[in-house]
Amino acid sequence: MDVLPLTLRDDPAPDEAQQLDAVFFALSDPVRRAILERLDAGALLVSEIAEPFEISLQAVSRHIHVLVRAGLVRQARSGRVSRCTLDAAPIYAAALWMNRYAKYWQAGFDALAQHLLRIDETRGSTIQDKGDE
């Protein structure tokens, strides 16, 4: 009996696959996504990141640690103070990977565009007909 390989030729390399796994895992949690949104505005201290959340500072720190392991956040420590910044490069890599599957939803967008174009053409001819009266 032949055993199929676990990876296909076009699949990412093992290190890349682990990085993608870490990014998707990090993005799977709403608190971590909210942290990334806050960091999109600029670097913040961990205490500043934690302000809007109704969870402990320790819980926020654990979420930040997951984001750091995924490469989405960089942490600079100075004594007891920790400043975090967003690193969006891993999100870009994940977006490139997901883009392989755009063909599955692109056809729907193309059909919607054609439908909207027909509506616009119908409205345009209706307006012209009324102007001719």
| Residue 82 token pair | 């920790």
- Asked whether the predicted pLDDT for residue 130 surpasses 60, the reply is no
Is 6 or 119 the better-scoring residue by pLDDT?
A: 119
- Asked whether the predicted pLDDT for residue 11 surpasses 70, the reply is no
- Asked whether the predicted pLDDT for residue 94 surpasses 80, the reply is yes
Name every residue whose Cβ is closer than 8 Å to that of residue 33 and which is 6 or more positions away in sequence.
Answer: 27
Which H or E run includes 24? helix 14-27
Name every residue whose Cβ is closer than 8 Å to that of residue 85 and which is 6 or more positions away in sequence.
Answer: 39, 42, 43, 73, 74, 76
- Asked whether the predicted pLDDT for residue 120 surpasses 60, the reply is yes
